[in-house]
Structure 1
Amino acid sequence: MWLRTTVYLFLLTTTVTFAQLSGGTPSPSVPAQSSQPSTIPVGETSSKGNAKISGYVVDSTLTKAVEYANIAVYNTATDKLVDGTVADDKGKFTLTKLAPGSYRLLVSFLGYNAKPIDNVVIAKGQTKDMGVIRLSASTRTLNEVTVAGTKALVEDKVDRLVYNADVDLAAKGGDATDILKKVPMLSVDLAGNVSLQGSSNVRVLINNKPSSILAGNLADALRQIPADLIKTVEVITSPSAKYDAEGSGGIINIITKKNTLQGLHLDVDGGSGNRTSTLGLNGSFRKGKLGVSLNGNGRGVYNPSGSDLNQTTFLGESIAPVRTRQHSDGFDKGLFGQYALGLDYDIAKNQSLTGGVRFGVRNLSRDQHLATSLLKGDIVGAPSRRDVNSQDLSNSVDMNIDYLHTYPGTGDGPQRELSISTQYSQNHLTNNFDANNLDTLGILTTRQRNLNFNTSQEFVLQVDYQTPISQAQQLEFGAKETYRRVNSQYQYLLAGPTSDYVVDSQRPDGSLLYDQNIGAAYLSYTLTTHNKITIKAGTRYEYTSIQASAGGQGPISIPNYGKLVPSINLSKKLNESTTIKLAYNRRIQRPNVQDLNPNFNAANPYNVSIGNPYLKPEITDRIEFGYSTYVKKTYLNLTLYSRLNRDDIQSISQRSDTLIGAVVSRRSNIGKEYNYGTNLFATVNITPRWSVNTNIDIMYRYISGLALDVSGLSIPLSNTGVRWGGRFDTQIQFDKGWAIQANLGYRGKDIALQGYRIGFAQYSLGARKAFTNKRGSIGLAAENFLTNGMGFTSVLNSAQFNQDFRQYIYNSSIRLTFSYKIGNLNGAKVKKGKSASGEEENS
């Protein structure tokens, strides 16, 4: 009772104070009441009846809902408060058990003018829909203190950390990697590769669903998602049993913005800069029970590239080593696109059907000019030149149909739900290259071509059921079947300066057919105790069967395997501002299509990569402790974790036996990897318009496995080191729609089994001006603008070779951004659905 009274007094004080500042009526508001409230703290006793009032609170610009708005109900005759509630995070509110009569509503929220609605008359048993209630923003300075509503940048939930990307002012014209760089516990390197608490084996979802768009090059795929379209990023380091076990490092769930309002609207966003240009369209139409959404984004890339390779290969004690020196200049150009169509329909009051189609295209071309010299002892070989054009092309499609049936429940606890989800995905991937070999005079001598086609397909069928056992307990269980097929075809061709291409006799044609079936079932139980302890425990069993064959060698023997994946999350609320967590889970990292593809990628013949169809899954056990608290204007989140990987999947490099001076890298299950780390995130709201946040992570890593000595025999190898990184962001809003944001980050040296990769720094500065009608904005963003680019060095050392590979990243960029909103929207019902990943989503 004391907690309820405290919360009420806080809301009452906030509403009255703001109403006085904004010129609104100084009337109180009350928090949401339970379905059977025992008392109303002020005014008269709550009326008893079966009538209802509902509505939807939105910003007067009609671009967003007003989350957690306060709704107070007054008796018209007595002007006494009789009931009240708080809207949900979509602006939806419902008042139940009202007696017939005439009422006055007062709708208010911090940062908006309070809005009274008079003469709301309801009859017995009537449900009165107020439709859309528009609140106009109000910012007023009193004694040099500005009162304005501010949305939290980070939210800490029982099993995840939520980063509210729609608060990011510098996102306009950027992509998903620009957002992920700022999310707690995540790191993004200069090539766009994402890691979670030091692990790159993360599972990335879009709106709780896996996508074939992400099945190819993840870094490129993330750049196809415009930052303006992202609402939140969920970091799930300890997923519950409902989630697929895949992703040893955890899950990153990208939630895109959706619209649940009636009417038609279209948002146009774009940007143009010296490295990239983007243009995005995001529209929706809703009428009655049917909703349709369509969004698309195109991105053009034009950027130089370069590298230096210095490596020494050792052929034996009595043979002089071979030193390879290579310089590369190149230019990347490409067009990327992503397009999505979504439909949802209310079949009945408690039944809904949703579906969608998402298309993705990638067309990246890289022209490289390689100059290579070999030094065999004291003998300097003639330099060689090689011009290479590499094609990285893909087109993908995801289609899903989901059905949800909710059942009437009692009280305010979780409701009973049944959901059936299906998804089909297909991705066509082409990685070809054409190479011209030239002599020292630049005359063409031979030509080479590698054709490499891959098709991956996936079909998912999932059934989930959840039911409350009591007000404080919930049971969830379900089953899922996933069928995957990967088909790779590759070929090497040779030709003279003018002759036709013929098959390379030293590298015969190859293929890989890889079928994978995953059957899964899970059981999850959630309990919330009277002393504010939440326990979410469950287990998931996944059985994987594999059938594989390679052209020329027939079936490949890969054992089937079953894995039990337990998880438990404990959360204890110490007080209203402090929470501690303890979690354990087990995860599985299955190899992806690039890991499996046995194509011999020799676009650079002295630095070759090859896949491995015999890879086993990587198993990870993880323990995590978390602490979060609010101290005045500061939010702190501290995480301590340990992670053990068995059958760790990493690249192992060795000297080539066929080409002198070359090194070949191959994905392998090397052994074990131990990680112990901590992450500290803090955000400080210095004023309602000025916020600062910082992120620091430190991790100790130990890796052990097998490598080859100079004679080719396996020898044990280990490596250890500490990696640290940090990030600092600040954001300031000014009058008349102006805002600026700055970012500075550093990522330290990263450890691998055979070497390390050096650290790097990144920084950015952005400014934005919103139009006076609040329907659009224009901005300017700059990244790493003090230099043209930077070097990014990887160092490998073994008994067979030493390698120093320095890649030049030209990431200095400036882009002009714009956005504009078109259309008129009205209120609509908000409903919830389930995805094929088994997690709840709003639509």
Structure 2
Amino acid sequence: MKNILIILMLVVLMFNISFSQEQRRFPMGNLQVNGKISGKLIDEQSGKPIEYGNVVIYRLRDSSMATGTISNAQGNFLLENINAGRYFIKISFIGFETKIIDSIFVTPKNSEIDLGTIKLSPALVKLGEVVVQGEKELIINNLDKKVINVEKDLTNVGGSALDVMQNLPSVTVDADGNVALRGNTNIRLLIDGKPTNMEGVSNYDILSQIPASQIEQVELITNPSVRYDPEGTGGIINIVLKKRREAGINGIITLNAGTGDKYNTSFNFNYKLDGFNLYTGYDGRINRFNSFGSNYRNSVNPTPSFLNQSQSGLNKMNSNNFTLGADYNINDFNSLSTSLKYRNSSFDNTSSNQDLTYNSSNYLTSKISRSNSGDRTFKSLNFTFGYKKTFEQKGREFTADFLFSDFKMNRLEDAQQLNTIYSPSYSETQSMRRLSGEGKNQMYIVQSNYIHPLESGIRIETGFQSTIRTINTYSDYFNFDYTNNVFVDNISLKNYFEYDEQIHAIYGIVSHSISGIKYQFGLRGEQVYTKSNLPLTNQSYRRDYFSLYPSVHISYEFLPMNEIQLSYSRRVDRPNNRQINPVVDYSDSLNVFAGNPFLNPQYTNSYELNLNNALGFFFLNTSIFYRTTSGIISTVSKLLPNGVLYNTFDNVAKGENYGVEFIWTQPVASWWRLMANFSYFRTKLNGQGIVNVDQDATSWTTRIMSTFTFWNKTQLQISFNYNSPTITMSGGMGFVGGGGGRYGNQAIAQGKIYELYGLDLGLRKDFFDEKLSVTLRISDVFNTRKFGGEVVGEGFKSIFDRKMDTRVLYLGISYKFNNYQNKRERLNPDEVDQEMF
């Protein structure tokens, strides 16, 4: 904490010094600037600001384009560096009528023009005899990210963030909750732009706690700029939760129920008066689901044998999340914001497992029957505090933010096992084991950012971020003494691991627009200090390293709403604490895991070309991407002479991943809206390490969503998604553990994942001027979503599959108070400010 305070003091001191020097160098009122034109875009019907509206200024003499920009979350836009002359402005946004403002005259005496509030009317586009009413776009393409508006996706109602992920373009989800972006599960998951700090908890557990009703939009960031933490070679997925900023008292209450004991509820309220805003929220989930799985392993070393594993389980989840936050505008140039989030969740599970081993003659030689019961509880507290200062010079701002996160996990599991040997002689052995575990994570983040537009039109941005994190896990094992009827501590299986990490980063970004070409160059430098400790054996490991992460973003709009974008970024995946913990995990006696403390980070260079085209009445986004990764962290498996599968981690390979992606949206008719996504990519892995790796495979995914409007605006939505077989850069490991479930994301350098597909239906009807909404949804209508794959190693081949309750009927009801509408809060520290673009 002392280090944090020192850093904060230095930041404030440096800013005050630089600000005072800036005031002396450029006295207010003496700035020599080129012409500026500003305004605000709003929806004529609802009065809401229009974000990402396209504003282009043309020279009146020859209709050539001078420059352009887009509106921000408040609907505001700013055109800068306008030379003296006569112009006209064209304003457009998909789903709205194009507006033209002419007779704009820029002179030295009239260099700053405020167009005021500009109202755009929803479009009435004729397709033959068909009339299409404009509405909020499902997908908005920004320079470095895609913004997906998921609030009105009916196939998410009653579900969780996992359902939302499954219905996003470019995103796939397996049975372990491993979320992949273009086939790569090494992504950085953010919630409201902030890391989850839930190390050791699977993505499935994290995402299943967040009701879909609480999510406003999801940002897919495949090539982030250097303002983002470079962690996650596959990119960033940022889940943006609903927040309130309207004047007065506003709110919404949502209730959902699903078959099989699945319930969730949420409410959000805010109160805003003058410069003060107070908001609060709650969401709770109760979820019960069954799971089934099997694993078939054929071994040839040391002697031929066959292992047939089967599992069935019942899982129960109870989650409660509370949010309290406030914003205060001190004056027109200074504002403060703070928030507090508390989460309390529990996961109970019971399962039955049976392992049957056969010899080469197909005779049963042994059987292991195991029953498990467990309970896990999670408690997390997140506190944020932010300060923002703006200036009279438009576009100039300073922000400073502090984040504290505290996460605790407790785990208690009992496993009772009966071993039966049939050959060479019959015998039975009974045993019972108890696992008691505790995890504690604490994280501090301090960061600041300063943006300064220069007279030449160049914009300079610089900032720093310091992250300090401690992760401690303690696992105790006990064997049951049947003679004395007590549990006895098993010292040999104790697993105590302590991990400390510090990451200190500085970055700089230069952006400009010239002759219609907009560019942004950035460079980030990071110094990483890590220390891991095994307190029971007094072993410790240190790793310190410095890395540079450049990024480039270039765009050119050759026609209004037709743009080409080129980007590059370098990213990293650092080994997590479980991947480097060398203590062997014997949770499954036939499948054991051990980390590798000598793992290196894996680095990726990512290149991307985007084409955004508005063609007639439909919009097409085309992306061509190419990634190279070195030192891929992979799970590798080796069959031991005693028949146990030993799993560890190594930097075994280098890889290439490239492909093309299409996203097509179109209002086919006044009652029919269509969105389709298709991704095709090829993955190559090769290298040597604990195992030799040489794989080359192609795969593809597609998703089609149709929305039909009929009878008093009743909506029917049909969504279908298909994922072809793939080896992916990262994925699941098999029947036990899973890819990201227990040990984080890692590649299957020795196997592949089978196809996965399903169909969802949703129906929605609004009442009382859209204040009350009733929704009905069926997920996985044909019950086809099943996760499976295979792993091949030296002397063995394993085939696995897993199935959960995926076909569920949901009923949802929501009610809005005082014209509740969704609106984004100010960009948080981890988000890129792309105002220039």
Assess same fold via TM > 0.5: yes
Show CA shifts across 1:73-106 (max 9, x none): xxxxxxxxxxxx99864467999xxxxxxxxxxx
For structure 1, the 5+ residue unaligned runs are 1-33, 39-51, 71-84, 96-107, 114-130, 708-713
Residue 519 of structure 1 corresponds to 504
After TM superposition, give the deviation of residue 840 of structure 1 in Å.
4.7
Give the structure 1 partner of residue 799 of structure 2.
804
State how far apart, in whole Å, the 2-side matches of 1:249 and 1:54 are: 36
1:633 partnered with 2:617? yes
Aligned pair count reads 735
Q: Distance in 1 between matches of 2:667 and 2:197?
A: 39
Alignment deviations for residues 134-164 of structure 1 (CA, whole Å, 9 cap, x no partner): 9999999999644533222222212222222
Does structure 2 retain, via aligned residues, the 8 Å contact 1:57–1:91? no
Matched, 1:653 2:653: no
Deviations 1:232-260 (A, max 9, x none): 22211111111111111111122223222
Contact 2:122/2:134, CA 8 A, preserved across alignment: no
2:443 counterpart of 1:467: no
Is the 2:40–2:75 Cα contact (8 Å) retained in structure 1? Answer: no
Distance 1:790 1:380, change over 3 A: same
Which structure has the greater CA radius of gyration? 1
Look up the match of 1:586: 570
- Compute the displacement of 1:381 (Å): 2.1
How many angstroms apart in 2 are the aligned matches of 1:785 and 1:523? 50
> Is 2:809 the counterpart of 1:835?
no
Which residue of 2 is the match for residue 273 of structure 1? 258
2:222 equivalent in structure 1: 237
Structure-to-structure mapping, 1:116-127, within 5 angstroms: none
Moved more, 591-600 or 162-171: 591-600
Alignment of 1:670 onto 2:645: no
CA distance in 1, matches of 2:191, 2:834: 11
**Partner amino acid, structure 1, of 2:440:** T
Let me know the Cα RMSD of the aligned residues. 3.7
Q: 1:835 touches 1:841 (CA, 8 Å); kept in 2? A: no
Counterpart residue number, 2:158: 173
Distance 2:513 2:41 in 1: 30
Of residues 367, 391, 399 in structure 2, which corresponds to 1:383?
367
Q: Distance in 1 between matches of 2:545 and 2:94?
A: 55
**Does residue 344 of structure 2 align to residue 361 of structure 1?**
yes
The 5-angstrom pairing of residues 474-513 of structure 1 reads 474-497=459-482, 499-505=485-491, 507-513=492-498
Q: Kindly tell me: are residues 508 and 329 of structure 1, through their superposed partners in 2, closer, same or farther at Cα, counting changes over 3 Å?
A: closer
Distance of 1:110 and 1:527 partners within structure 2: 26
- 1:616 pairs with one of 588, 591, 600: 600
| Alignment match of 1:771 (pick from 767, 774, 777) | 767
Out of 405, 408, 418, the residue aligned to residue 428 of structure 1 is 408
Match of 1:290 among 273, 276, 281: 276
Match of 1:746 in 2: 722
- After superposition, residues 176-575 of structure 1 pair within 5 angstroms as 176-212=161-197, 216-275=201-260, 276-316=262-302, 320-378=303-361, 380-409=364-393, 415-438=395-418, 445-470=430-455, 472-497=457-482, 499-505=485-491, 507-530=492-515, 532-575=516-559
SS in 2 for 1:670: strand
Tell me the secondary structure at the aligned position of residue 247 of structure 1. Answer: coil
Secondary structure of the structure 1 residue equivalent to 2:206? helix
Amino acid at match of 1:423: L
Per the alignment, residue 683 of structure 1 pairs with 665
How far is 1:350 from its partner? 0.5
* Cα distance change, pair 685–604 in 1 and its aligned pair in 2 (3 A): same
Q: Does 1:731 align with 2:710?
A: no
Cα distance change on mapping 1:634 and 1:69 into 2, 3 Å: closer
- Would you say the 8 A contact 1:682–1:695 is kept in 2? yes
What is the CA–CA distance in structure 1 between the aligned matches of 2:555 and 2:652, rounded to whole Å?
36
Deviation at 1:681, TM superposition (A): 1.3
**Matches of 1:473 and 1:686, distance apart in 2:** 42
Seen in structure 2, the aligned counterparts of structure 1 residues 679 and 304 have a Cα distance that, compared at 3 Å, is same
CA contact (8 A) 1:832 1:840 kept: no
Q: Cα distance, 1:382 vs. partner? A: 3.8
Distance 2:94 2:755 in 1: 44
Per-residue Cα deviation, 1:586-612 (whole angstroms, up to 9, x for no partner) = 001112344344564444322333444
Distance verdict in 2 for CA 1:286–1:55, change over 3 Å? farther
Q: Deviations over 1:307-332 (max 9, x none)?
A: 1121133443xxx2332222212111
Q: Aligned equivalents of 2:201 and 2:514: distance in 1?
A: 44
C-alpha distance 86-387 of structure 1, shift in aligned 2 (>3 A): closer
Indicate the SS of the match to 2:135: coil
Moved more, 714-723 or 272-281: 714-723
Q: Distance in 1 between matches of 2:318 and 2:429?
A: 30
Per-residue deviation at 1:270?
2.2
Q: Report the alpha carbon displacement of residue 765 of structure 1 after superposing the two structures with TM.
A: 0.5
Q: Does the 8 Å CA contact 2:581/2:594 hold for their aligned counterparts?
A: yes
TM-score scaled by length of structure 2: 0.80
Q: Is the 8 A contact 1:639 1:680 kept in 2?
A: yes
Q: Secondary structure at the match of 1:348?
A: coil
Q: Which moved more, 1:606-615 or 1:561-570?
A: 606-615
**Is 1:694 aligned to residue 676 of structure 2?**
yes
Whether the aligned pair in 2 keeps the contact of 1:208 and 1:839 (CA below 8 Å) is no
SS at match of 1:516: strand
Change in 2 beyond 3 A, CA 1:598/1:269: farther
* Kept after mapping to 2: 8 A contact 1:418/1:464: yes
Distance 1:610 1:776, change over 3 A: farther
Counterparts in 2 of 1:100-179, with a 5 A limit?
145-146=130-131, 148-179=133-164
Question: Is residue 461–residue 836 contact of structure 1 (8 Å, CA) maintained in 2?
Answer: no
Greater CA drift, 250-259 or 606-615: 606-615
d(CA) in 1 for partners of 2:352 and 2:666?
A: 49
* 1:202-239 Cα deviation digits (max 9, x unpaired): 11222222222587222221222222332222211111
| Cα separation, partners in 2 of 1:424 and 1:321, compared to 1, 3 Å | same
Task: Give the percent of matched residue pairs that are identical in Structure 1 and Structure 2.
Answer: 25
Q: CA deviation at 1:528?
A: 0.8
Query: 1:283, 1:214 → 2: CA distance?
Result: 31
Which letter does structure 1 place at the counterpart of 2:809?
I
1:104-138 CA distances to partner (integer Å, 9 max, x unpaired)?
Answer: xxxx999999xxxxxxxxxxxxxxxxx99999999
Contact (CA 8 Å) 2:754, 2:789: kept in 1 or not? yes
* Cα deviation, residue 177, structure 1: 2.5
Q: Which amino acid aligns with 1:250?
A: G
TM-score (structure 1 length as normaliser) = 0.80
Question: 3-state SS of the aligned residue for 2:201?
Answer: coil
In 2, Cα distance between equivalents of 1:549 and 1:88: 47
Where do 5+ consecutive residues of structure 2 fail to align? 1-32, 55-68, 80-91, 98-115, 422-426, 728-747
What is the identity, as a one-letter code, of the residue corresponding to 1:770? D
Q: Deviations over 1:560-584 (max 9, x none)?
A: 1100101111111121132112111
Matched to 2:791, the amino acid is: L
| In 1, Cα distance between equivalents of 2:339 and 2:312 | 42
3-state secondary structure, aligned to 1:220:
helix
On the 8 A contact 2:248/2:271 being kept in 1, the answer is yes
Deviations 1:339-371 (A, max 9, x none): 222211112220011111122233112211112
Change (3 A) 1:768 1:247: same
Q: Is the 8 A contact 1:740 1:767 kept in 2?
A: yes
CA distance in 1, matches of 2:307, 2:50: 63
Distance, in Å, in 1 between the alignment partners of 2:200 and 2:688 is 29
SS in 1 for 2:588: coil
Distance 1:611 1:339, change over 3 A: farther
Find the residue that maps to 1:179 and give its secondary structure: helix
